[in-house]
Structure 1
Amino acid sequence: KDTNVKTLTTSAYAKIMNVADDSSLQLYSSVKIAKLGAKETLTVDIVTPQNITKITPDMYRNAATTLGIEHAKITVAAPIAVTGESALAGIYYSLEQNGAKVSDESKELAQEELKTLSQINEENSGKSNYDADKLNVAMTDIKSAVADKGDKLTEDQAKTIVQQTINNYNLNLSDNQINLLVNFALNLSKSSIIDSASFKSSLSSLKDSIVSKAGNTFSSINLKFDANKTLENSKNIFAQIWQAIVDFFTGLFK
């Protein structure tokens, strides 16, 4: 018997997920986290993929970077078909049982991210030009751009970052799906995780890992795209337009 195995009870789950403790609640997902060396990247292995119906390994990895998890191997399994969205509770529980403090803010943010990614993926699955790898890489770029802007990120800037990023990856998303990403970006900008010195490097490693296993999916896409440069370009274009207006009226009165 593995003495490091900790069972997540329904009452513990209710507390972690901030929901009512219901005795009829059934928990089926199982999560294991193994700490790796500093040179190792974050990996997620779903050992029962047929039973995790909505969440992909890269979605879990994206959410894990938002929790600040870096060098670890996460294993997910379920004995029956489940969405997989509640597996994050097992990750929080495992971290806290091993002495790490996971804030409610971080839990809510990671849960929001996982729900956003899974919803967008489900609603676009099977559509032409859509690819889950593109969505996950786009999310790493959005998060990196938000980290650069910090807590001064405005709603207009968040909209520009999201729109330009999904355009770069040829993701044709609905207005509602774009709004989900914008809301997440704004919530992320208020989180302490973006102040972590390793947050952007973790995102870069995750992006490189997804791209390297995606074949030719990204062959015609600019992987050095920087969403924050679009904000600077927007400011420059506005300044140029304003200067042209000033010059026009100045010319009238000469």
Structure 2
Amino acid sequence: MVLVRVLGSFAAEAGGGSVPLGGPRQRGVLALLVAARGQVVPVDRLVEDLWRGEPPSRALASLQAYVSNLRRLLEPGRPPRTPARLLVSASPGYALRLPPEAVDAWRFEDLLDEARTCADPRVAYARLDEALALWRGPAFAEVADEPWAAAETARLDELRLVARELRTAAGLRLGDPAAVVPEAQGLTRDAPLREEGWRLHALALWSSGRQADALATLRRARAVFADELGLDPGPDLMALEQAILTQRTDILRAAVPPPPAPQAEPLP
């Protein structure tokens, strides 16, 4: 079984042992293929990205050597002259053929997709918890300064925030808002320009009986948006503030249902 981890330090395992991925460009080849999620990455693009638009005359030969080394590392038991199964040649370049669970970033996205379509908050929370536990640090940490990596790391960072927001929302739906308050507060600290974190934080406080704190949170959100963006809060935050001020408990109950009643014990 091969495992590749890019949500933190870049690492790989094959046959239960750690794989020495080699130098920066060889690691870059694997990272580019992971970012493509099984799609073919053309040779021209690999050369362009690995050498930042200034490839040497022997760039193609070097790329072929990196691919050969990675194939040997990922499939140490592959007989000579046998076609590679994991890092394959596919016109006009190369592709990584691994199951989704073998790459932490791929597994993270699959779990997030499952949670988004799940109606049961318990199951959704568990999926999101598993997804977020895959992160051990910044995505593609060792190659994050490469120009080609910027868009992919930004995309994954955005999805990580979405997963945190969805987990917080699922926690609220489970009916224990006080337990969710610290997580929601963390969202406002780590991503202060995202309205959803502020909404969830205020909602968790309100549903915990802390109306004054909820209103203070929304005032802080208003100040942040005014100072940083020169804008007022969006309609969702404005509506929530009005609901708190007018004690619209029907809105609160719709957003944060009461905890489910415990199941009755079977009769002896």
**TM-score (structure 1 length as normaliser):** 0.24
**TM-score (structure 2 length as normaliser):** 0.24
Query: Relative contact order (C-alpha < 8 Å, sep 6+): which is higher?
Result: 1
Q: Which has the larger radius of gyration?
A: 2
